[in-house]
Structure 1
Amino acid sequence: MMEQYERSAEFVDILLASYWPELGPQVARALDGVPGPVVDVGAGGGHGTRVIAAAVPHSEILAVEPSPALRSVLMARVHEAAELRERVTVLPEGFLQARLPARLGAVVAMNVIGHFDPEERGAVWDLLADRLVPGGRAVVNLQPPTEPVAVPQFRSGEARIGRRTYEGLARAEPAGPEQLTWHLTYRTHQDGELVDEVAVSHVWWLLSEERMTKELGERGLTPKAAGSGMYVIS
């Protein structure tokens, strides 16, 4: 997984930007009234970190991002904004390895839960059950598909910077009863010509609403649908 982001980080942040005008307000609503501190799991370049900071304006934020390439974008984005620089701590470890406070007000995990295998995912649920304060919650989204089916290639994003256009393409194929392998291609065009192409692949662990509900229920936690594949866990 780390190698994937080292090769694709220059494209990931700019192509994800188009998703946050829709995703951001949903995350903000899910965090309404939540206490701090807040953990941003797999913070990437910090699009979600900015949303969290605006939604919980007086709380400490811990932005967890193990990829050095994505973390460099995150660090720059946090440092250039005084309102982030004072409240956001960037942690370079994975979520389960990070040095986190003993008690947490909220945990936000956007587009990331499939990076955890079933054993690691259980550890994530255990951490939520152990550390969320009364009234605290986690905000998680499940990305389709949740079953091991082939996904035909589609355009996942496009951005233009100067003379160059950057395009993301994605497709997936089953890799077992609980996994997909995603194949991602990033193309750079200038003056109508393809000038660069980067291809990466990674495994994604599948999780359905039913299975998540069962796993959380075993730990005394309950997910509540919050729209567009998003769930609030408390």
Structure 2
Amino acid sequence: MSDEYQTSGEYLHLLSEPAWQALRTPVALALRDAASDATLLDVGAGTGLGTEVLAAAVPDGDVVAVEPSPALRAVLLSRLAARPDLRRRVTVVAGDALGVDLPARLGAVLAMNMIGHLDPDGRRAFLRRVAERLAPGAPLVLNLQPPTEPTPVPFSVFGTVPVGHHTYEGGGSAEPSGPDAVTWRMRYRVLDADGTALREDHADYRWHVIPADALLTELTEAGLTGEVGPLDVVRAVRRT
């Protein structure tokens, strides 16, 4: 399996931290009622920023973090190694949303910043897999990311983070690449103190888009009831 994050893995954690400062509270609220007697699952765990929030939702809960990218798993494992409280209860699995063996009973599922990696059939299959295993009242938490239609997105810089004498910068643009997808073209740069670009890397990836109402319909078809909250964080539970 090729690693879509082979190039961007160097930059992703640094550039994701500011966004997660804003996401942390709405995600934590959406994870309310996580079941303490079932496995907590983070799908597309990345470098573990969401895994930390999931683990905090049930302080003694058993957590499984699924991540297909070797580059991102390396960062995730390094961060867990520095956190004895998490290292003893977070299991990292090399796999993806459709291929990984799921626990029989799930106390909560977190799937942040990953649903667009699945095509429509894969997305619906993932929602069904999760719905079948969620404990009563336990949440599935994911998020919507723009664009919600296959429209062009002009280039912009998403964020800059200083580290020592350098600044790490990430930005990108998107172009339609089918009736339900765009291709993101990402640019990452390392800037010197005077703004000179010391290095520049590029990465492309395909992202399947979906409007909020269409996602809520798919959740209903999977046997879930969903709602869209702050920062487009979606919370869904099994219908009773």
Shared fold, TM over 0.5: yes
Letter matched to residue 98 of structure 2: L
Matches of 1:219 and 1:161, distance apart in 2 = 44
Matches of 2:227 and 2:2, distance apart in 1 = 31
Matches of 1:201 and 1:195, distance apart in 2 = 21
Letter matched to residue 221 of structure 1: L
Q: Deviations over 1:150-188 (max 9, x none)?
A: 111111111111111110011111112100110100011
Q: Using the TM superposition, name which of 49-58 and 88-97 deviates more.
A: 49-58
Alignment partner, residue 226 of structure 1? 229
Matches within 5 A, 1:16-31: 16-31=16-31
1:69 partner SS:
helix
Matches of 1:7 and 1:128, distance apart in 2 = 30
Letter matched to residue 203 of structure 1: R
State the shift of 1:2 in Å. 4.3
Alignment partner, residue 176 of structure 1? 178
Alignment partner, residue 139 of structure 1? 141
Matches within 5 A, 1:115-154: 115-154=117-156
Provide the TM-score with structure 2 as the length reference. 0.94
1:156 partner SS:
strand
Alignment partner, residue 216 of structure 1? 219
Does the Cα contact within 8 Å between 1:40 and 1:63 map onto a contact in 2? yes
Does the Cα contact within 8 Å between 2:148 and 2:210 map onto a contact in 1? yes
Structure 1 position 90 matched with structure 2 position 95? no
Provide the TM-score with structure 1 as the length reference. 0.96
Matches of 1:116 and 1:205, distance apart in 2 = 7
Matches of 2:2 and 2:144, distance apart in 1 = 21
Matches of 2:193 and 2:85, distance apart in 1 = 39
Matches of 1:132 and 1:147, distance apart in 2 = 30
Identity %: 43
State the shift of 1:57 in Å. 0.7
Letter matched to residue 12 of structure 1: L
State the shift of 1:27 in Å. 0.9
Matches of 1:121 and 1:233, distance apart in 2 = 15
State the shift of 1:59 in Å. 1.0
Q: Deviations over 1:25-53 (max 9, x none)?
A: 11111112311421111111111111111
State the shift of 1:116 in Å. 0.4
Structure 1 position 199 matched with structure 2 position 225? no
Letter matched to residue 229 of structure 1: D
Alignment partner, residue 60 of structure 1? 62
Alignment partner, residue 11 of structure 2? 11
CA RMSD across the alignment? 1.3
1:45 partner SS:
coil
Q: Give the gaps of 5 or more residues in structure 2.
A: none
Q: Deviations over 1:27-86 (max 9, x none)?
A: 111112311421111111111111111222121111111100110000011121011011
Q: Give the gaps of 5 or more residues in structure 1.
A: none
2:132 partner SS:
helix
Q: Using the TM superposition, name which of 33-42 and 69-78 deviates more.
A: 33-42
1:21 partner SS:
helix
